[in-house]
């Protein structure tokens, strides 16, 4: 497959572009300005660049690294930017639907199958009670409770979280919801021991649509504060970003690793993160796989407060 990566030097006079379906379009500018529309990622060497720009020490080197990752996983990279581009015209629930359809398509792809063959996946570590629920007056506390697996998100945790969020949605006396993770990490992402165990990708899509913590979080977001700490990988940040308020401790590290598996974010990340940081920075996080620190997440608006 020919490389879909395209990089263009941009300036204030660069006209808007309509990217082709077979390209990931990256712009590089010496300083941030009112960016032309149509670019999937915008890189600049200027410090503290405003959205949608991503500030980096060496934009050309960063672009080369992005090119390498896109060329290794072109189908996932293209699916990602297609979903993000379409999302601009869709409601958040519609974005979840499009994301799930693209995710299901990639699950049947050769890139993901190759990752399944090569990956060293952990043994399953089920928890008797993967989510704990506590109530104090009008305040509901939901705790992801698989610390032995760094709160990796498996099917049992998904279903238990849906049950907990059903309470928040259905009970008008609940006015505040705190979403936390037990142990050293808020959530280390999807449980890799379950990846690839469902061979029916159409059925997997149906389950994502009918048992969706993301959809429930959308319905009660104004009540929810997500408290991040430690690793917040994949689903760990994708779900949290739906919350009306997000706090993060100084040790928080955020990452979207799905593209390197031949996938795209599948827990709602292409719907939740653009609402907070825009589609260009979301694309950069997912395509690059970089680790975002708590201060950078605060600067971008992905979190609202950094605590000790």
Whether residue 83 is contained in a domain is answered as: no
Tell me: do 63 and 208 sit in the same domain: no
Tokens 């690839």 correspond to 196
Q: Is residue 88 part of a domain?
A: no
Nearest to residue 144, comparing CAs of 215, 229, 210? 229
Residue 145 shares a structural domain with residue 196: yes
Question: Measured between alpha carbons, how far is residue 227 from residues 122, 201, 248 in Å?
Answer: 26, 32, 6
> How many CB atoms are closer than 10 A to CB 298?
17
User: Does 165 share its domain with 302?
Assistant: yes
Residues in contact with 199: Cβ distance below 8 Å, sequence separation at least 6, in sequence order: none
Q: Which domain holds residue 251?
A: 94-261+292-307
Distance CA 31, CA 29 (A): 5
- Per-residue CA distances from 262 to 121, 161, 181, 274, 308 (Å): 16, 26, 27, 21, 36
Residue 279 lies inside a defined structural domain of this protein: no
Q: What is the pLDDT averaged over residues 103-128?
A: 89
Which residue has 């996938």 as its token pair?
263
Asked, for residue 193, whether it belongs to a domain, the answer is yes
Q: Are residues 61 and 112 in the same domain?
A: no
Mean pLDDT of 201-213: 94
CA atoms within 13 A on the CB side of 221: 16
- Helices within the chain (DSSP H only): 59-72, 74-87, 92-107, 110-118, 155-170, 201-210, 213-220, 235-238, 269-288, 294-300
The reply to whether 64 and 210 lie within a common domain is: no
- 108 close to 138: Cβ distance less than 8 angstroms: no
Domain co-membership, 64 together with 175: no
Q: Residues 21, 157: one domain?
A: no
Indicate whether 66 and 104 sit together in one domain: no
Mean pLDDT, range 243-262, rounded to an integer: 98
**Does any domain span residue 280?**
no
Q: Are residues 244 and 296 in the same domain?
A: yes
pLDDT value at residue 121? 81
How many alpha carbons lie under 13 Å from residue 203 in its C-beta half-sphere?
5
CATH number at residue 226: 3.90.226.10
- What's the mean pLDDT when you consider all of the chain? 95
Q: Are residues 103 and 64 in the same domain?
A: no
> Do residues 104 and 12 both lie within one domain?
no
pTM, rounded to two decimals: 0.95
If asked whether residues 153 and 63 sit together in one domain, one would say no
Task: Tell me if 139 is assigned to some domain.
Answer: yes
Pick from 299, 286, 291, 294: which is nearest to 87 by CA? 286
Question: What was the pLDDT predicted at 302?
Answer: 98
**% of the chain surpassing 70 pLDDT:** 100
> How many separate domains does the chain show?
2
Q: Does 197 have pLDDT greater than 80? A: no
């Amino acid at each position: 497959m020919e490389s879909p990566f395209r990089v263009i030097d941009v300036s204030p006079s660069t006209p808007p572009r309509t990217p082709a379906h077979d390209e990931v379009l990256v712009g590089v500018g010496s300083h941030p300005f009112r960016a032309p529309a149509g670019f999937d990622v915008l890189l600049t060497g200027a410090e503290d660049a405003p959205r949608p720009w991503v500030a980096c020490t060496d934009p050309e080197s960063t672009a080369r690294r992005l090119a390498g990752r896109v060329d290794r996983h072109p189908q996932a990279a293209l699916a990602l930017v297609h979903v993000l581009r379409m999302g601009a015209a869709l409601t958040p629930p519609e974005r979840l639907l499009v994301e799930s359809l693209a995710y299901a398509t990639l699950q049947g792809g050769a890139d993901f199958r190759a990752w399944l063959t090569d990956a060293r996946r952990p043994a399953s570590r089920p928890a008797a009670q993967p989510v704990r629920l506590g109530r104090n007056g009008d305040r509901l506390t939901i705790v992801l409770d698989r610390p032995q697996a760094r709160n990796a998100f498996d099917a049992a945790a998904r279903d238990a979280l849906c049950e907990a969020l059903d309470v928040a949605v259905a009970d008008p006396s609940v006015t505040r919801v705190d979403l936390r993770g037990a142990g050293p990490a808020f959530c280390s992402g999807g449980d890799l021991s379950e990846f690839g165990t469902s061979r029916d990708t159409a059925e997997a899509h149906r389950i994502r649509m009918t048992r969706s913590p993301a959809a429930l979080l959308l319905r009660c977001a104004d009540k929810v504060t997500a408290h991040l700490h430690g690793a917040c990988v994949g689903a760990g940040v994708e779900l949290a970003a739906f919350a009306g308020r997000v706090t993060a401790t100084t040790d928080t590290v955020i990452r979207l690793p799905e593209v390197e598996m031949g996938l795209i974010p599948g827990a709602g990340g292409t719907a939740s993160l653009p609402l907070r940081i825009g589609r260009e920075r979301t694309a950069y996080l997912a395509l690059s796989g970089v680790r975002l620190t708590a201060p950078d997440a605060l600067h971008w608006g992905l979190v609202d407060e950094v605590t000790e």
